[in-house]
Structure 1
Amino acid sequence: MQNLSSKFSVSRQWKQSALLTLDLLFIPLAIWLAVVVRWGGMAYQFQVVDFVAIVITMVASAAYFLRIGLYRAIIRFMGQQAILTIIKGVTASAVILAIAGFLTKSGIPRSTPVIYWATGLFLIGGSRLLVRSFYHGVIRANGDKVIIYGAGASGRQLLNNLLHNGDYNPVAFVDDGPKLKGGVINGVSVYSTQQLPELVSSFDISYVLLALPSVSHQRRREIIDDLEGLSVHVKTVPGFSELMLGSAKVGQLQDIDLEDLLGRDPVSPDVELIDRCIRDKVVMVTGAGGSIGSELCRQIARCQPRELVLLDISEHALYQVSTELKRDNSHNISVIPLLGMVQNQSRMETIFKEFKVETVYHAAAYKHVPMVEFNVVEGVYNNVFGTLSAARAAMKAGVENFVLISTDKAVRPTNMMGASKRMAELILQSFAKRYDGTRYSMVRFGNVLGSSGSVVPLFRRQIEDGGPVTVTHKDIIRYFMTIPEAAQLVLQASTMAKSGEVFVLDMGEPVRIVNLAQRLIRLMGYEVKDSAHPKGDIEIKYTGLRPGEKLYEELLIGENASGTGHPKIMQAAEAMLDDDAIDQYTSELRDACDANDCDQIQQILQLAVAEFNAKDGISDAIWKRRLDNGLVIATNDKVVNIISPKTI
């Protein structure tokens, strides 16, 4: 398509000069045709005064055409306004001809300017329409053939964008509207949706483009289910909310929304609940540059806090989110980006006090299971002691609400990340019992579609690269939610907290990862390659569970859960540790981290988190290198002991 575009890429000045020259040829030709039509043949003999009138018409018309901007219009994008300009210019040219004929006493019949208006409009306007039609015909012939699903306003607007784009060749609409079926829109026929499989086959369609921004989620899923077996790449226009907010346009095609892969409707937010802890308050988000943290910031900003304080250890991530918030700051909210580590209690306390922070959303954490497995000490420092420092600083500074962003991996954990997050929950539960000034709560949810490290972006990259798509195990299942859902859950649950609660979302049925991969492969226009389809396009490869990974995750430790003021948010009733035990475990855990003793860290977490089953032992990279160097010795598959330096 780039080579095609280069064929049409000549300078704008050259194009305008060519059009002006062409019009200067069309004007006398149109006058001659008008005279021929008037006399019914070529009997009229042109005199010198006639030629003078024609020259005057040519010069004056060209000057007027330039003045009204006739040559500023880009032909391939020519629309109604450009056509009106042509009509205006030709009308003026006909008037000029009549005046010139009168002044020069030309013998050209007085009815000639009227006929000239029609012939001039045909030549000057028709030539441009012909060029536009030729251009669109060429680029459509070279574009991927597509069907637009939905012939409403969005579908028609999408068609206009595609006609000027060149990447796609729209060959048909499909729509169930009785008034639309059988019609033709801008040269493209409208068919019934029941004819879609036949159209895909007969036209060799590459893409189906969904132009249904306001259709219900249930209907949208039904349509996507029908499209799965057609071997076409499905793309969609942005959703209605994005269009209304102005953050996207109809022509900006994108892959299927992540919500459409969930198999359930997104949880609707309760705006009144969200506002309670935010509007006119000073709100702080730790880990503000992360996937969840940045989405929290976006949604908090819409609720008009008095100030929004952003904290992150990553300068790049902090710059990105703060720049975005300041650029899109329609409510003139004060956005304060701060660099810092949540483990630094002194800095946290200073920030809370100086900015008089009222609500804290603590999203700063290491969340990727393999990364924490290979970096145990840093994972515990950040997830456990970062939470401890931030929670203690909040208490000393008199923060009203402190909300921990937790994970379903904290339930019966089998890895260090999950165990460290459960330990953070236990610390907050202890703080909730001890201190009355700050309300501490936790929000626990499953995997987030589209976040960094999420399987969906990974699968998309692998499919685009030709596969294989890697899945750890054929039976692995996960609960999923979207980033906006996760952020909304956090904001709503925080308003329900009295202190010490663990909130979880009713996320519907868990999703089998291999089914998600297969669905995505088909919706991107490919066929799954397996034993039943050896000639398929994309293979799914099973790589085996990673260290600390489970086949399935849970949201509740016990069986007891109660409802809340929100139909999709539950409150878990779970066992807690007494204050002395918390103090003892955190003290011992800090000593073990300072000594880089991964064995001791694991044992302490197994004592503190009763459900922690470290089924894969210790995978810490430094610890394993010390094992290779003979500095530590494994007494069995799961327990490793330090060799005293005196015995080496």
Structure 2
Amino acid sequence: MLRISQVVIDLVVLSASFALAFLIRFDGDLPAPMVVRLLLTGPYAVALEYGVLFAFGIHRLSWRFIGLPDTRRILAACVSASAILGGLRFAIGFISEPSLIRYGLIPYGVLGVNLPLAFLAVTGVRFARRTLGEGIESKRRRPVAPATRTLLVGAGEAGVLVARELTSRPDLALRAVGFVDDDPRKAGSVIHGLPVLGTTADLPSLCSRLRVKQALITMPNVPGSVVRRISKLCESARVPAKIIPGVYEIVGGQVNLSRMRDVAIEDLLRRDAVTLDREEVLSFVSGKVVLATGAGGSIGSELCRQLCALGPRRLLLVERSENALFNIHRELTAAHPELDIVPCIADITDQPRMSALFAAQRPNLVLHAAAHKHVPMLEWNPGEAVKNNVFGTKAVADLAVGHGAEAFVMISTDKAVNPSSVMGATKRAAEVYVQSLAEDSKTRVVTVRFGNVLGSAGSVIPIFREQIQQGGPVTVTHPEMRRYFMTIPEACQLVLQAGAMGRGGEIFVLDMGEPVKIVDLARDLIALSGLREKEDIDIVFSGVRPGEKLFEELATLGEGVNKTRHPKIFVGRLQRVPSAEVQLHLTRLRAALTSERSADLMASLRGLVPEYQQIEHPSPSEAPPVATVTTPDPAAPGLVPLAVRQ
């Protein structure tokens, strides 16, 4: 519709509203003087009303997509126009008789009636246009296949958005039959034309009675335990469960149903959403030159995504894998064309290259995520583990301190606690060195320690998925193998929060929740794939690999942790090793690394990390019991659970 036609329509409906207001005020029988007054006042009243609408920007609003915010703006414009007309009526009332100007008086009653009429007329034509457009669009988007009968689980805000989207998008071939919701106040109500049929406990019977073909979970932020319960109800009803990934998929009141997917293992393990002190994190990153090592890895790439959202002045992506660097750089520049994102091919153990990079870029903030992480692989290659995880970390930390960076944040692992592997021992050695730097450094050097992240490259979940796709068997090392898990975005959010909180020398420990049995993960993934254990696919126990523990700890019983002001971030109570002693051990470790004698290397590593010891593992059939205990300590009321063997 052309703009000129919209102006004409607005003028016509305003004129009609004004005339109707006169008729209503005088019960449909206008005296002759009032007819004259209507003819005299109509043009200037309508012109003034449209002028106010124009001043409020109503002419720029899209008729096709009018919504509640637009309606509020139209109401404000109509009220303002009526107030101006009322003020003119009051002023003209003081002019003495006889005068033609008095014919310009608009009765107060007419003004009172005209306000709602004008508002309804202006909004009404726009909603009529929207309805017409949606009808045409709906016919154009007729589904090519029969619509799938879908039960919506959750009648909250997200559920209403989904229902609205399904109504306007028949091409999605989804037909919502109603809601289920555990809020008793919603029972029996109708929301956006769909009835609330019962609670989630009624889901199996409703699916059978209403011939439901799938259930869509429309609760983006519920805990994993709720998703698990609903998934099991769907499984008992023999209908697939779908889900909307998260609240970040719902932007500006719009839900992207193209991202609807099957329930995944990440949904079953999800926890409450992380709450950040955004102002603190913004001040930590915004407007600064930030360097991130390991930028192409699972953790590093997600850190860089979140950093981009915080507005750094420049982001330096340091990565030795050309392909990984190419992919993350292309992704970030496409998503944030306004940012200065610099890809830097570099190995953190290449001292000349890293020195030149720091000298040229002078980063304010350094996030160190580069590391070798695969436990069995590093048992076979201990020298490379020491070179990268210890001396690579030392090189980056020294450069950060030497070039006056404001903060250096190292990402560590729960495998550094009482390490039984080369990987864990080298990460603990790096923690010791980074902590010793805080003694005389103006740079705030901190470490953030957490457990496994879901879906990272080479981790257990992608391996299980690959094994399931190949028909099995799914291999689990031991029936009592347990790990802490956290999603990659959650871990990275907490890393940034901890980095912003740090004052120097802290080893922060993230609250990982409760440890999860790896065999339970395998069973969940098999069920989510629509298969049954033993009937369709087997689980085989292959034995614990070199360097692995049956459980991981986030802090030792001797260390303990103290609360911070963030409920999911704790600070470890670790005694610092004197800097001179650390340097002595590092000198011996470097000499052993140069000699390439494995025995000397391991002995030197134990000198720096005396708690490092390799352990003998029982066979899978001789699994000892595992218990979760919390050490009582009045000084540390916020201890995280520590898994210990009995």
Length-normalised TM-score, structure 1: 0.66
Q: Distance in 1 between matches of 2:577 and 2:385?
A: 22
Q: Distance in 1 between matches of 2:253 and 2:178?
A: 26
Q: Is the 8 A contact 1:556 1:572 kept in 2?
A: yes
- Match status 1:587 vs 2:593: no
Structure 2 equivalent of residue 537 of structure 1: 536
**Local SS of the residue matching 1:277:** helix
- Match status 1:298 vs 2:287: no
Counterpart selection for 1:485 from 484, 490, 499: 490
- Provide structure 1 residue ranges, at least 5 long, that are not aligned to the other structure: 1-79, 82-125, 530-535, 618-648
194-203 vs 519-528, which deviates more?
194-203
Q: Offset at 1:498?
A: 2.1
Q: Is the 8 A contact 1:345 1:393 kept in 2?
A: no
State percent identity of aligned pairs: 42
Q: Offset at 1:293?
A: 0.6
- Match status 1:265 vs 2:264: no
- Match status 1:211 vs 2:218: yes
Q: Distance in 1 between matches of 2:214 and 2:419?
A: 43
Q: Offset at 1:543?
A: 1.7
Structure 1 residues 559 and 591: alpha-carbon distance in aligned structure 2, compared to 1, 3 A threshold: closer
Q: Offset at 1:130?
A: 11
- Match status 1:549 vs 2:556: no
**Local SS of the residue matching 1:352:** helix
- What pairs with 1:359-378 in structure 2 (closer than 5 Å)? 359-378=365-384
**1:133-161 CA distances to partner (integer Å, 9 max, x unpaired)?**
7x64xx238x7x76443574344356469
Structure 2 equivalent of residue 416 of structure 1: 422
* Counterpart residue identity of residue 510, structure 1: P
Q: Distance in 2 between matches of 1:203 and 1:544?
A: 48
- Give the superposed CA RMSD: 3.5
Q: Distance in 1 between matches of 2:162 and 2:180?
A: 10
Q: Distance in 2 between matches of 1:453 and 1:162?
A: 39
Q: Is the 8 A contact 1:243 1:250 kept in 2?
A: no
Structure 2 equivalent of residue 349 of structure 1: 355
Q: Distance in 2 between matches of 1:129 and 1:594?
A: 72
Q: Is the 8 A contact 1:306 1:333 kept in 2?
A: yes
Structure 1 residues 437 and 420: alpha-carbon distance in aligned structure 2, compared to 1, 3 A threshold: same
Q: Is the 8 A contact 1:237 1:251 kept in 2?
A: no
- What pairs with 1:117-196 in structure 2 (closer than 5 Å)? 136=144, 139-140=145-146, 147-150=151-154, 152-156=159-163, 159=166, 164=171, 172-176=177-181, 191-192=197-198, 193-196=200-203
- Match status 1:426 vs 2:432: yes
- Match status 1:402 vs 2:408: yes
* Counterpart residue identity of residue 153, structure 2: Y
Structure 2 equivalent of residue 40 of structure 1: none
* Counterpart residue identity of residue 367, structure 1: K
Q: Offset at 1:210?
A: 1.9
456-465 vs 175-184, which deviates more?
175-184
Q: Offset at 1:131?
A: 11
Q: Is the 8 A contact 1:258 1:450 kept in 2?
A: no
**1:214-253 CA distances to partner (integer Å, 9 max, x unpaired)?**
6677755653454455554422123222221899822322
Structure 1 residues 584 and 538: alpha-carbon distance in aligned structure 2, compared to 1, 3 A threshold: same
150-159 vs 415-424, which deviates more?
150-159
- Match status 1:613 vs 2:613: yes
Q: Offset at 1:501?
A: 1.0
Q: Is the 8 A contact 2:138 2:170 kept in 1?
A: no
Q: Offset at 1:270?
A: 2.0
Length-normalised TM-score, structure 2: 0.67
Q: Distance in 1 between matches of 2:165 and 2:422?
A: 49
* Counterpart residue identity of residue 550, structure 2: L
- Provide structure 2 residue ranges, at least 5 long, that are not aligned to the other structure: 1-63, 66-134, 618-646
Structure 1 residues 406 and 257: alpha-carbon distance in aligned structure 2, compared to 1, 3 A threshold: same
Counterpart selection for 1:502 from 504, 507, 513: 507
Structure 1 residues 441 and 215: alpha-carbon distance in aligned structure 2, compared to 1, 3 A threshold: closer
**How many pairs align?**
478
**1:22-52 CA distances to partner (integer Å, 9 max, x unpaired)?**
xxxxxxxxxxxxxxxxxxxxxxxxxxxxxxx
Q: Offset at 1:320?
A: 1.2
Structure 2 equivalent of residue 597 of structure 1: 597
- Match status 1:469 vs 2:474: yes
- Match status 1:511 vs 2:516: yes
Q: Distance in 1 between matches of 2:196 and 2:255?
A: 26
- Match status 1:437 vs 2:442: yes
283-292 vs 266-275, which deviates more?
266-275
**Local SS of the residue matching 1:500:** coil
Structure 1 equivalent of residue 638 of structure 2: none
